[in-house]
């Protein structure tokens, strides 16, 4: 299956944009928050099969699901909490689905200096230690609202520390133009695919929008398996 990947020209352009965004991210004020570093929730971590950066499962699986999400999006959290594990248990663990997460930060008004982009960039850095999925779970466990400081820099760094990440490597990665470029490249892929809401999914390239119940995903996956 031919999955869309960022082209060299696309990545070059996003690097230029990310360099500007990185400067803004490092100096822009975030919303005031009462959320303290000490209040971070560390959930029981789920054992995702064959994690490889932002993907899980067998890349040769007959069905590929791409999720476009935002860590501040409440419906993305609903999908994470209510549906993702069922998809993993039924289809990813059994080699039938290859699942990819792609960043589409929109809840912060598409402002690269604010929390959706900051959380996504931090997740990119966790992914470079192959801990994206653990960090992904911690982000959703600590989502309590939109643009209220849940994903301040100190909290994002504390989440990485609580997960036992290499903090020298994490701090060297977050925030950088390179990490933000990965986020912006995913956002451009979303726009090129006609996606304009989170969460949105491509199931073998076919769109499915919203935090649908497992049965809706099951129907779409089985239709693809029946045609394979």
pLDDT (average), residues 22-37: 51
Number of domains in the chain: 1
> C-alpha distances in angstroms, 10 versus 88, 134, 188, 228?
31, 28, 8, 32
CATH of the domain at 56: 3.40.30.10
- pLDDT one-digit tens code per residue, 43-93: 988 899 999 999 999 999 999 999 999 999 999 999 999 999 999 999 999
Per residue in 172-205, is it b (16+ CB within 10 Å) or e — as a string?
ebbbbbbbbbbbbbbbbbbeebebeebbbbbbbe
- pLDDT one-digit tens code per residue, 134-180: 999 999 999 999 999 999 999 999 999 999 999 999 999 998 999 99
Residue 41 falls inside a structural domain: no
pTM of the full structure: 0.85
Domain residue limits at 129? 48-226
Residue 105 falls inside a structural domain: yes
Residue 99 falls inside a structural domain: yes
Residue 184 falls inside a structural domain: yes
- Confidence at residue 35, expressed as pLDDT on a 0 to 100 scale: 63
> C-alpha distances in angstroms, 210 versus 40, 83, 92, 201, 207?
27, 11, 20, 8, 10
User: Quick check: 182 and 20 in contact, CB under 8 A?
Assistant: no
């Amino acid at each position: 299956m031919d999955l869309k990947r960022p082209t060299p020209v696309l990545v070059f352009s996003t690097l230029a944009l990310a360099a500007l965004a990185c400067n803004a991210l490092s100096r822009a004020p975030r919303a005031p928050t009462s959320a303290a570093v000490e209040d971070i929730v560390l959930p029981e971590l789920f054992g995702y099969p064959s994690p490889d950066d932002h993907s899980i499962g067998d890349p040769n699986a007959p069905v590929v699901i791409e999720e476009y999400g935002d860590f501040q999006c409440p419906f993305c959290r609903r999908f994470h909490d209510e549906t993702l594990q069922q998809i993993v248990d039924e289809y990813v663990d059994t080699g039938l689905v290859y699942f990819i997460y792609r960043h589409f930060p929109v809840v912060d008004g598409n402002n690269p200096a604010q929390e959706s982009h900051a959380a996504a960039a931090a997740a990119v850095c966790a992914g470079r230690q192959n801990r994206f999925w653990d960090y992904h779970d911690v982000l959703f466990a600590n989502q309590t609202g939109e643009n209220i400081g849940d994903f301040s820099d100190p909290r994002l760094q504390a989440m990485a520390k609580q997960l036992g990440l290499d903090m020298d490597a994490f701090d060297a990665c977050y925030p950088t133009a390179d990490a933000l470029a990965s986020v912006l490249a995913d956002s451009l892929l979303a726009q090129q695919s006609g996606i304009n809401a989170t969460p949105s999914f491509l199931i073998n390239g076919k769109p499915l929008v919203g935090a649908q119940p497992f049965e809706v995903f099951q129907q779409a996956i089985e239709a693809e398996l029946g045609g394979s």
